[in-house]
Structure 1
Amino acid sequence: MSLAIDFAGRVVAVTGGGRGVGRGVVEAFLAAGADVEFCGRTEPEQLPQRGGRAARFTAVDVRNAAQNQAWIADIAARHGRLDVLVNNVGGSPFGRFEAGSPRYFQAITEINFLSAAVATSAAFEHLLATGGSVINITSISARRPSPGTAMYGAAKAALESLTRSLAVEWAPEVRVNAVSSGLVATESAVDHYGTAEQYAQVARTIPRGRMASPDELGNVCVMLASPLSAHVTGAVIPVDGGGEWPAFLSHTPNADIVQQADRVTDTGGTTT
Structure 2
Amino acid sequence: ELTYNPDGSITQKVKVTETVTITDEEGKKVKAERARQEFIKKVAIFPFDYNGEKEEIKWLQYGIPYGTCISLLQDEHIDLQFPNGQELGYKEFSKKLRSIGYENGTNVPLALRKKIANEIHCDFFIIGNISNDDANKVSTKLYNTENGKLISEMEINDNNIFNIIDKISMFHRKEMGIPKSHIESNTNLSSSELITEFEDAFKNNIKGILKRQYENDYEGSISFLQHAMKIDPNYCLGASSIWNSAFGQNREEHQSLLDNTMKTAIRNIYRVPDRLKFRIKIG
TM-score w.r.t. length of structure 2: 0.32
Greater gyration radius: 1
TM-score w.r.t. length of structure 1: 0.33
